[in-house]
Amino acid sequence: MTPIRNDWTVEEVTDIYNTPVLELIYKAATIHREYHQPDEIQVCTLLSVKTGGCPEDCSYCSQSVKYNTNLKAHKLMSVEEVLSIAKTAKENGSTRFCMGAAWREVRDNKDFEKILQMVRSVSEMGLEVCCTLGMLTGEQAMKLKEAGLHAYNHNLDTSEQHYNKIISTRTYRDRLETLANVRNSKISVCCGGIIGLGETHEDRISMLHTLATLPEHPESVPVNALVPIEGTPLEQQPKVSVWDMIRMIATARILMPKAMVRLSAGRIKMNMEEQALCFLAGANSIFAGDKLLTTPNNEMDEDKKMFQTLQLKPRVPNKVKQEQE
């Protein structure tokens, strides 16, 4: 069995990343088969439970108040509304339900109490619940854990070097601190990044190196391609090449063999053959449903057809797996 390593050097990561792409896919596919069932894909649903009006200035985001993106802001949804959407997601084969809020950080107020209620109720439905709510203290992480939260998403987004060209309202260190709080509370860590933000290959390598040398690898690594949003500073960024996505996915798979590698934002721009290459390269998780947080996602019917053609099946939730074992 390929060992799990947290001591990768930047040189090693660079060599893997620069491997000729077909050889890279082959190596990643081989490691993928040691740790995962290659015909299983985790199907996740995203829901923006609180949309827009965010004080942060993340240059890629439709939800920042700093940019004129024509997004309709929405206050925190009701628990009932969220439960009804989660029910439909489950009926459509989703096993993981991720709730996102356009917050800089979680505050200890009524809204957080509502979030805890949502986590409790969705978790009781048998779905793996994930949240992405911005920065989190250790105490807040513990409360989420007690409410039944399975995973917390908090992305590094890019390399430490490129970070302050993208976001000025918080630091890379802030990000790492929240990740440590999540890890300490025994919540599963979901952490990845975005490509297409004007970063260099060295930046991508550096971000992958940071992820793969965390004291423990994230259990989930989302790989996003920038969805350019009109009105943001990154609106004119060129489309990310599918081969760049494949290279990121394959390198992540080799560096972090056990992680679920999620083909996240940007999938809507890919045809079935391109997505199949991502799955071959080690991606084993997707977001399904017509919408990501604020932008369109692949049509459910198309995804169902893709699963049939590629003979893939949705993965059962971890919770159920543990009960079956």
Catalytic residues: 54, 58, 61, 98, 130, 190, 262
As a whole number of angstroms, the distance between CA 21 and CA 27 comes to: 10
Place of tokens 């805890």: 116
21 within 8 A of 246, measured Cβ to Cβ: yes
Kindly indicate which of the ranges 28-36, 104-112, 221-229, 268-276 contains the residues binding ligand DTB, using the contact rule CB under 6 A. Answer: 221-229
15-21, long-range: CB within 8 Å, 24+ apart, which pairs? Answer: 16/251, 16/254, 16/255, 17/201, 17/204, 17/205, 17/208, 17/247, 17/251, 21/243, 21/246, 21/247, 21/250
155 lines the binding site for ligand DTB (CB under 6 A): yes
187 within 8 A of 178, measured Cβ to Cβ: no
- Smallest gap from residue 19 Cβ to ligand SAM (A): 26
222 lines the binding site for ligand SF4 (CB under 6 A): no
100 lines the binding site for ligand DTB (CB under 6 A): yes
β-strand 193-195 against 220-225: which pairing, if any? Answer: parallel
Nearer to ligand SF4, 178 or 251 (CB): 178
3-state SS class at 237:
coil
- Smallest gap from residue 61 Cβ to ligand SAM (A): 5
Indicate which of ligand SF4, ligand DTB, ligand SAM, none lies near residue 52 (CB less than 5 to 8 Å, by partner kind): none
68 within 8 A of 134, measured Cβ to Cβ: no
Nearer to ligand DTB, 198 or 228 (CB): 228
Q: Which of residues 132-151 bind ligand SF4 (CB under 6 A)?
A: 134
As a whole number of angstroms, the distance between CA 307 and CA 45 comes to: 16
Indicate which of ligand DTB, ligand SF4, ligand SAM, none lies near residue 158 (CB less than 5 to 8 Å, by partner kind): none
- Smallest gap from residue 175 Cβ to ligand SAM (A): 8
Q: Which of residues 42-81 bind ligand SF4 (CB under 6 A)?
A: 54, 56, 58, 61, 63-64
Contacts to ligand SF4 by CB under 6 A: 54, 56, 58, 61, 63-64, 102, 104, 134
